[in-house]
Amino acid sequence: MEVQQARVFIAVAEELHFGRAAQRLRLTQSALSRSLAQLERALGAQLVERTTRAVSLTPAGEALLPHAQEIVALVDRSAEIVSAASAGRTGRVRLGFAGPSTNHVVGLLARELRRRLPGLRLELVSSMLSHTSLGQVLEGSLDIALGRWDVLPADVASMVITQEDLVLAMPEGHRLARHARVGMKELARDSWIVLPSGPGAALPQRLHVLAAQAGFVPRITQIAPDSATSMVLVASGFGVALTQSSVQRHIHAPGVVFRELTEAPAPLPVRLIWRRDDTNPALIEVVETAQALHPSTLRAGEPRAAH
């Protein structure tokens, strides 16, 4: 069914009068009748019943009408649709993030995007560790990711969303659990629970740096797939863990106590990252929305470039 044929059929169906339908479309009545007849031949069904006194739709015509209206409406909106996509007001952006420790940040961004750009489709992919999401941004299966990196490739752009303090998680029965602050040297003989390491993953790197400054190599006995599992292992007495303040605030961890480190390590930036060469207008709108939500952190803590 061609668009013009759909317009002819809709005009006849809505006017139920060939003369008024032809006038509405600025066609001769014979041209309108030919177009309708061609459509009926192409579909192999009669759409309009015409007598000397009335025009009515056949059951086939009744069934076809809403679909013809959808086709014409979509064609009429095509310029608007293309314009909106070019301006980033519509389209799709795939965002990867870790999970419970960053849910609040993702939720704030998603709500603001829905308010500002209701036509934009934000697809959320959770349980993405930082090094995994970095790889997927680079290969293009994610458009943007939220995570923690100390080192990023030069072809990745980033902005800081917030800063997190590093804290120590230990079982509530740990020998140092009553201390308000704990030094790394006091943990030299403890077992450590860590998250998987990978390119640019900040938390495992920070642990090794702090341990080296304290004069020991951490004895890693468990590698947890995510922060929530890490806290379960800590509560079960498998060891201690270096984690971030967002885990303390947002992950329910009965049996775990959180303590500050006497070394007061530098805060850990939480970043949005994306490919520098990505020109997707919808992605640009997401980045600009995030910048508007977090203006005070834009220039904070630039990561080193990976070599």
Same domain, residue pair 228 and 294: no
In three-state secondary structure terms, 133 is helix
Mean pLDDT is lowest, of 3-7, 37-41, 59-63, 100-104, for 100-104
In three-state secondary structure terms, 81 is helix
Q: Is 82 part of any domain?
A: no
How confident is the prediction for the chain on average, in pLDDT?
A: 88
* Residue 299 pLDDT exceeds 60: no
Q: Mean per-residue pLDDT for 48-68?
A: 90
Q: Is 296 part of any domain?
A: yes
Same domain, residue pair 171 and 254: yes
- Identify the band that residue 305 occupies on the pLDDT scale cut at 50, 70 and 90: very low
Q: Is 188 part of any domain?
A: yes
CATH assignment of the domain containing 12: 1.10.10.10
Q: Is 119 part of any domain?
A: yes
CATH assignment of the domain containing 234: 3.40.190.10
Which helix (DSSP H) or strand (DSSP E) does residue 63 occupy? helix 59-76
pLDDT of the residue at 215: 96
* Residue 75 pLDDT exceeds 90: no
Same domain, residue pair 103 and 50: no
Same domain, residue pair 178 and 152: no
Q: Radius of gyration of the chain from Cα atoms?
A: 31
In three-state secondary structure terms, 194 is strand
Domain span at residue 21?
3-76
Distance CA 111, CA 109 (A): 6
* Residue 296 pLDDT exceeds 70: no
Q: Is 123 part of any domain?
A: yes
Token pair, residue 5, equals: 């044929």
Distance CA 156, CA 253 (A): 34
Domain C-terminal end among 47, 76, 105: 76
In three-state secondary structure terms, 98 is coil
Q: Looking at this protein, which amino acid is placed at residue 15?
A: E
Q: Is 154 part of any domain?
A: yes
State pTM to two decimals. 0.66
- Identify the band that residue 129 occupies on the pLDDT scale cut at 50, 70 and 90: confident
Same domain, residue pair 179 and 232: yes
Same domain, residue pair 130 and 145: yes
Question: Rounded to the nearest 5 degrees, what angle is found at the Cα of 280, between the Cα atoms of 276 and 281?
Answer: 115
Same domain, residue pair 170 and 152: no
Order of strands across the sheet that contains 241-244: 181-182, 256-261, 166-171, 241-244
Burial class (CB in 10 A: 0-12, 13-18, 19+), 142: buried
Same domain, residue pair 237 and 170: yes
Same domain, residue pair 279 and 152: yes
Q: How many helices (H) and strands (E) does the chain have?
A: 11, 15
* Residue 124 pLDDT exceeds 70: yes
Under a CB-based contact definition with an 8 Å cutoff, are residues 224 and 194 in contact? yes
* Residue 51 pLDDT exceeds 50: yes
pLDDT of the residue at 245: 93
The rounded Cα 111 to chain-centroid distance in angstroms is 12
* Residue 303 pLDDT exceeds 50: no
Number of domains in the chain: 3
Mean pLDDT is lowest, of 88-92, 232-236, 277-281, for 88-92
Same domain, residue pair 125 and 256: no
Q: Is 81 part of any domain?
A: no
* Residue 88 pLDDT exceeds 70: no
Q: Is 283 part of any domain?
A: yes
pLDDT of the residue at 307: 40
* Residue 285 pLDDT exceeds 50: yes
- Identify the band that residue 79 occupies on the pLDDT scale cut at 50, 70 and 90: low
- Identify the band that residue 21 occupies on the pLDDT scale cut at 50, 70 and 90: very high
Same domain, residue pair 150 and 277: yes
| Locus of tokens 């049996």 | 255
| pLDDT over 70 percentage in the chain | 92
* Residue 165 pLDDT exceeds 90: yes
pLDDT of the residue at 300: 39
- Identify the band that residue 302 occupies on the pLDDT scale cut at 50, 70 and 90: very low
Same domain, residue pair 66 and 98: no
